[in-house]
C-alpha cells in the first residue's frame, strides 16, 4: 500500500487554535469508516499536548476510535500501527512557536470536502492509552540491522535531539548496540524555549564538539523526528544529496533495483544509481513515499534529511537511518571517505515571489524557454536537463513562491544558468 502524507502547519493560538484542531480532527474522522482506528502521538511541549487533545476530541466526536501513544515520534507510531490496527497516524509537534500536524494514511484524505459532523452520544469513539510499546520498536531495529559490526567497532556517537522527548528511546537503542554515546541538547524538559533555539547555532556547536571529543559521527534529529542531519568525524555536515547517494549505493550493493527520490535529486545520485546497475525514479516532491511503494523501492529519500528504508517501514525514519549509517561506517570506512566517493556538484537553490494565479503562466514560460535547450521533465514543475547540468522550477504549494534549483558539474556555468533563470523571471514580472 502507498503512504500519503498531509501536513498542516501554523502559529499556535492564532492560525492553529483548539477550535481549529477539533474541527480538523472531526473532518478526518468523518472521512474514515467506523472500524478505523487513529493512532495519535506528540512531543512533550505544552502546546503540542494542548492541540493534540483538541484534535483527539474532534476525532472521537465523529465516532472514530483513537489510540493515544502519548509522547512519541511519528516514525515509531507508524511502525507500531502494525500491532495496534491503526491505518491513520497523527503527530503533533512544536517548533519555534509553530504547530505542525502530520497525517499519515494509506489513502488520500480530502479534508476540504468534509463538513464537521458529530455522532450521537452512544456512538462516540473510544479512547485507548497505549503503553509499553518502545521495546517492540527497538527490537525491530536490532533484528533488522545486524549489530555485530557496530559492537566490534564501538563508534563514538555525538547525538543532538531537537525533540528531547525521544532521548530515552534513542539512548536505549544506542546502548543496545554498545556504542560510545555522548548527548547534546537532549536533557528532558517541557519548557517551550527548548523548541525556540536556533537550528543553525545547534549544528555549529555540534560540529565543534564532534572535532573536540573525537567522535566518529555527529547526528542531529529535528524536533519532529522525521529528518536527520549527519556530520563526519571532522565535524563536516554531509549534504542531503550526498547522504542519499551513500544510502542508495549501500542498498544497491547486493540487490540492484529501484531508488526513488524527487525531481530535486542531484546528478550525482543518478550516477551512483546507474553505476550500481539500479534505476532512479524521480517523483513529485510530495509523492516520494507513494512512488516508493509503487515501484517496490530498495531505498527512497529526499531533502531535507528524509531517508526511507521500505524493508523496515514506508515512512521517513531518521532513527533507523542513524543506525543503518552506523552499520555502514562500522563495516566500511569513515563517513568522510564514504562521502568523498559521492560526487558533489555545484548547486544552488532560492525562491522567487510569484502570485498563485501567475504560477501556471510562469511554469509555461520556463518550459517554452527551455524546451529547445535540453530534456524537459514536467513531473513536478519544470526540470530542464542539459549536458552536465539542470534547472528545476517548482511552484510552492502554500506560499506565493517559485522554488528554483540549479546544479552543474562546471562551476563557471553556475553563474550563467543563474543569469538565464533571472532573465526569465524578469520577463514574468513584466
Same domain, 352 and 274: no
Q: What is the pLDDT of residues 129-147, one digit of tens each?
A: 988 778 889 899 989 998 7
Identify the CATH number of the domain in which residue 386 sits: 3.30.310.50
User: For position 3, what pLDDT does the model report?
Assistant: 66
Domain boundary among 94, 110, 131: 131
Same domain, 333 and 224: yes
Same domain, 209 and 321: yes
Strand stretches in 224-345, DSSP E? 228-231, 258-262, 279-283, 299-302, 306-308
Are the C-beta atoms of 39 and 103 separated by less than 8 Å? no
Strand stretches in 72-126, DSSP E? 88-95, 98-105
Are the C-beta atoms of 81 and 89 separated by less than 8 Å? yes
User: For position 184, what pLDDT does the model report?
Assistant: 84
Total-model pTM: 0.88
Q: What is the pLDDT of residues 31-85, one digit of tens each?
A: 888 878 999 999 888 999 999 999 999 999 999 999 998 888 888 888 887 776 6
Same domain, 105 and 183: no
d(CA 396, CA 380): 11
Same domain, 368 and 315: no
Give which of 316, 179, 332 is closest to 250, Cα–Cα: 332
Same domain, 216 and 280: yes
User: For position 403, what pLDDT does the model report?
Assistant: 93
Same domain, 141 and 105: no
d(CA 403, CA 381): 9
The CA-atom distances, in angstroms, between 373 and each of 168, 284, 383, 389, 426 are 54, 22, 12, 11, 20
Positions in the chain whose pLDDT score sits under 70: 1-3, 84-85, 110-116, 162-165, 187-199, 429-430
As given in the structure block, the three cell numbers for residue 278 are 539500479
d(CA 132, CA 117): 34
Domain that holds residue 419: 346-429
- Which residues pair with residue 279 across a beta bridge? 258
User: For position 162, what pLDDT does the model report?
Assistant: 67
At 155, is the secondary structure helix, strand, or coil? coil
User: For position 192, what pLDDT does the model report?
Assistant: 46
User: For position 190, what pLDDT does the model report?
Assistant: 47
At 377, is the secondary structure helix, strand, or coil? strand
Is cis: bond before 87, omega within 30 of 0?
A: no
User: For position 193, what pLDDT does the model report?
Assistant: 46
Same domain, 324 and 352: no
Q: How open is the CA angle 247-304-326, to the nearest 5 degrees? A: 35
* Total count of domains within the chain: 3
DSSP string, 384-426: EEETTEEEEEEE-SSSSEEEEEEEESSHHHHHHHHHHHHHHHH
User: For position 84, what pLDDT does the model report?
Assistant: 66
Domain boundary among 300, 322, 340: 340
Residue in the block written with cell 564514504: 338
Same domain, 181 and 213: yes
User: For position 430, what pLDDT does the model report?
Assistant: 64
Same domain, 294 and 371: no
User: For position 195, what pLDDT does the model report?
Assistant: 41
Identify the CATH number of the domain in which residue 14 sits: 3.40.120.10
Are the C-beta atoms of 181 and 157 separated by less than 8 Å? yes
Assign residue 63 a region (left: φ > 0; alpha: ψ between -120 and 50; beta: otherwise).
left
Same domain, 309 and 207: yes
Domain boundary among 292, 316, 340: 340
Same domain, 35 and 160: no
Amino acid at each position: 500500500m502507498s503512504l500519503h502524507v498531509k501536513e498542516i502547519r501554523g502559529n499556535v493560538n492564532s492560525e492553529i487554535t483548539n477550535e481549529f484542531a477539533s474541527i480538523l480532527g472531526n473532518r478526518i474522522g468523518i472521512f474514515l469508516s467506523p472500524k478505523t482506528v487513529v493512532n495519535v502521538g506528540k512531543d512533550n511541549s505544552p502546546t503540542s499536548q494542548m492541540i493534540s487533545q483538541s484534535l483527539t476530541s474532534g476525532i472521537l466526536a465523529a465516532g472514530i476510535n483513537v489510540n493515544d501513544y502519548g509522547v512519541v515520534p511519528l516514525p515509531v507510531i507508524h511502525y507500531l500501527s502494525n500491532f495496534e490496527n491503526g491505518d491513520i497516524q497523527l503527530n503533533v509537534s512544536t517548533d519555534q512557536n509553530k504547530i505542525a500536524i502530520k497525517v499519515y494514511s494509506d489513502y488520500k484524505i480530502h479534508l476540504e470536502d468534509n463538513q464537521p459532523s458529530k455522532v450521537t452520544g452512544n456512538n462516540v469513539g473510544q479512547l485507548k492509552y497505549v503503553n509499553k510499546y518502545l521495546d517492540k520498536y527497538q527490537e525491530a531495529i536490532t533484528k533488522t540491522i545486524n549489530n555485530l559490526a557496530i559492537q566490534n567497532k564501538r563508534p563514538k556517537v555525538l547525538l543532538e535531539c531537537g525533540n528531547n522527548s525521544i532521548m530515552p528511546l534513542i539512548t536505549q537503542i544506542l546502548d543496545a548496540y554498545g556504542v560510545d554515546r555522548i548527548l547534546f541538547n537532549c536533557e528532558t524538559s517541557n519548557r517551550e524555549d527548548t523548541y525556540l533555539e536556533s537550528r543553525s547555532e545547534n549544528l555549529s556547536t555540534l560540529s565543534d564538539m564532534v572535532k573536540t571529543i573525537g567522535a566518529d559521527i555527529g547526528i542531529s534529529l529535528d524536533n519532529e523526528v522525521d529528518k536527520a542531519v549527519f556530520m563526519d568525524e571532522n565535524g563536516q555536515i554531509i549534504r542531503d544529496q550526498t547522504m542519499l547517494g551513500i544510502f542508495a549505493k549501500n542498498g544497491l550493493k547486493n540487490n540492484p533495483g529501484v531508488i526513488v527520490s524527487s525531481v530535486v535529486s542531484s546528478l550525482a545520485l543518478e550516477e551512483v544509481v546507474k553505476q550500481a546497475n539500479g534505476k532512479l525514479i524521480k517523483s513529485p516532491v510530495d509523492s516520494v513515499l507513494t512512488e516508493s511503494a509503487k515501484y517496490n523501492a530498495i531505498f527512497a529519500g529526499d531533502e531535507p534529511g528524509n531517508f526511507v528504508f521500505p524493508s523496515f517501514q514506508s515512512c521517513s525514519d531518521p532513527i533507523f537511518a542513524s543506525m543503518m549509517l552506523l552499520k555502514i561506517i562500522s563495516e566500511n570506512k569513515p563517513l568522510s571517505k564514504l562521502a568523498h566517493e559521492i560526487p558533489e556538484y555545484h548547486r544552488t537553490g532560492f525562491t522567487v515571489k510569484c502570485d498563485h494565479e501567475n504560477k501556471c503562466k510562469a511554469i509555461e514560460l520556463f518550459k517554452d524557454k527551455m524546451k529547445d535547450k535540453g530534456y524537459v521533465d514536467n513531473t513536478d514543475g519544470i526540470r530542464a536537463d542539459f549536458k552536465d547540468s539542470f534547472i528545476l522550477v517548482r511552484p510552492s504549494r502554500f506560499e506565493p513562491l517559485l522554488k528554483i534549483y540549479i546544479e552543474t558539474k562546471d562551476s563557471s556555468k553556475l553563474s550563467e544558468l543563474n543569469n538565464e533563470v533571472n532573465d526569465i523571471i524578469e520577463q514574468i514580472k513584466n
